Structure 1
Amino acid sequence: MFPTWRIAYVAAAIQQAPRGAVARGLASWIVTVGAPAVFLGIVVTVESRSAAGGLIIAFWVALMVGVLLVAGGLWAWRVSGIVDKETSALYNVLGVVETARLVLRPPVPQDAVALAATIDPQMLTGNGWTEREARAMVKSVRSGYPTPGLLAFQACSDGALVGGATVHPSESDPSARTLGWWIGPRHRRAGYATEAVAALVEAIHDAGFATVEIGTTESNLAVQRICDKIGAIEKDRRAQPLPNGSVVPSIWYAHRQALTTTSVEEVLP
């Protein structure tokens, strides 16, 4: 049985890839699987000349159906593996990041319940998520194959999960990554967000990305204060569609990596 994540990756590949490429890929697997199957079918038919014609026809029908199922399954497995590697390269750009009070890391299945507890109506509203999206994210963690780019914030003191973040490719700049985050209701107003965001921005720069983009609504003063604290500069203001279908006035910030003395010397003649 195919894992859910593989099915999703195959569906995405079919939607995004040219139809001709999809057809050629599937056809190549049908030929690969079908050639030995046809040879087997001919041998069985020759050896079963005395069998009723209906049985031979049923055998060939079953053989062809089996070829299509096996070839389709192998093709889908291969495609999902390729998409998985490409997705990991795009999204999983950070390892474990440690701060004075937190460990910022990819979630594991055991985190599912605790991560769900960090999601409340305020978090959904602030990030423009729907309950369905939140459940899907938690389900992905429970399955052992979390949403690409997802990180969990774990407190060093007691191991509790205090929140999470997403690190995604920028839609407009390949040298940038987009950062979003949230803190659960039991751990807000303790400075965790500023601590985590500052560390993640530094880690993203260290991973080779010159710019970190942060978007927030004009009414979210908490995120705006964090952006000011870490030195992010307002880039533009525009109406932003959110995952829940609403469109809100938003502010986009950019934190750009500062050139060190060494790097300046390297770029000057």
Structure 2
Amino acid sequence: MFPTWRIAAAKAEFQHRPRRATIGLAGWIALLGFPAAVIGVAATAVFPSAATELIVGVWLLIVVATVLVAVWLWVWRVSELASKESSARYDVLRDIETSRLTLRRPAPKDAVPLEATIDDAMLASNGWTERNGRALIKAVGRGRPTPGLLVIESRSDATVIGGATVHPGDDQTSFASIGWWIGPSHRRAGYASEAVAALVDAIHDTGYTSVEIGTNESNLAVQRICDKIGATEKDRRPQPLPDGSTVPGIWYEHHRVVTEPT
């Protein structure tokens, strides 16, 4: 009846704002209930001699239809508002270009080439399950990509070589956290360093004062990139991963260096 993303938005509304969700749904039922009651009264008046069972059946049908339509309209409204809020929060970056790469929002046509960049090594290093990967690709193909997802594309031949994620902090101005991956056929060519450096600069350009990067203590490649772009170690703490495991994590922080005018 509804795409899964609309259902998820409605579920999240009830989980995080139960009072507002209940009032909103009740409002839709009340809004539709009045005209539905008028229809029910009119039907009863038109057929006064109808059997009691028929009258009860008509009223039951009206009540059920009213509730179902109200729920449908409420879920649609909540999911639309959630989508707009998400876009306002996450879609703060314009396309980013480097000498060799473009970082941009994904389109449905990117689903297949992006899937080719997700292999066992990528899943393991990010703590993803195969289900996480399939869900991400399915969302891209449906035109509803994960908020904050970017594809990394080669400028020379428009090949999708990887992806990146940007997650704003709660106040949307102090910090954002990022992650990234490069597909198996394009690794060890310096693409990750190039993409991350440009992404961090672009995030600062939008007004974020710091960018956070978390990684496993054993992931030396990410640590080298953090050192290369000038990120400093912030702290070390256990890092929960999407696959349910927890690893010893290092959290880096990058601040833009502001040069005082002379």
Q: TM-score, normalised by structure 1?
A: 0.93
Question: Could you tell me how far 1:171 is from its partner in structure 2?
Answer: 6.5
Change (3 A) 1:220 1:213: same
Does the Cα contact within 8 Å between 1:167 and 1:178 map onto a contact in 2? Answer: yes
Does the Cα contact within 8 Å between 1:170 and 1:213 map onto a contact in 2? Answer: no
Does the Cα contact within 8 Å between 1:107 and 1:141 map onto a contact in 2? Answer: yes
Map of 2:70 onto structure 1: 71
Matched, 1:150 2:152: no
SS of alignment partner, residue 50 of structure 1: coil
Map of 1:28 onto structure 2: 27
- Which 5+ residue runs of structure 1 have no aligned equivalent? none
Does the Cα contact within 8 Å between 2:89 and 2:172 map onto a contact in 1? Answer: no
Question: Could you tell me how far 1:4 is from its partner in structure 2?
Answer: 1.8
Matched, 1:100 2:108: no
Map of 1:161 onto structure 2: 160
- Which 5+ residue runs of structure 2 have no aligned equivalent? none
SS of alignment partner, residue 261 of structure 1: coil
Does the Cα contact within 8 Å between 2:44 and 2:55 map onto a contact in 1? Answer: yes
SS of alignment partner, residue 205 of structure 1: helix
Work out the CA distance in 1 between the residues paired with 2:128 and 2:243: 5
Map of 2:12 onto structure 1: 12
CA RMSD after TM alignment: 1.6
Work out the CA distance in 2 between the residues paired with 1:171 and 1:218: 26
Between 208-217 and 82-91, report the one with greater CA deviation. 82-91
Question: Could you tell me how far 1:173 is from its partner in structure 2?
Answer: 8.2
Does the Cα contact within 8 Å between 2:173 and 2:209 map onto a contact in 1? Answer: no
Deviation string for 1:142-183 (max 9, x for gaps)? 111001110001111111110000101236985100010000
Does the Cα contact within 8 Å between 2:136 and 2:145 map onto a contact in 1? Answer: yes
Map of 1:212 onto structure 2: 211
Deviation string for 1:121-145 (max 9, x for gaps)? 1101111111111110011101110
Between 46-55 and 143-152, report the one with greater CA deviation. 46-55
Between 20-29 and 197-206, report the one with greater CA deviation. 20-29
What amino acid does structure 2 have at the position aligned with 1:216? T
Deviation string for 1:96-136 (max 9, x for gaps)? 11111111011111111111110011101111111111110
Structure 1 runs (4+) greater than 4 angstroms displaced: 171-174
Question: Could you tell me how far 1:258 is from its partner in structure 2?
Answer: 2.0
SS of alignment partner, residue 145 of structure 2: coil
Map of 1:83 onto structure 2: 82
Map of 1:253 onto structure 2: 252
Map of 2:119 onto structure 1: 120
Change (3 A) 1:234 1:172: farther
Work out the CA distance in 1 between the residues paired with 2:163 and 2:207: 22
TM alignment of 1:165-180, pairs within 5 A: 165-170=164-169, 175-180=174-179
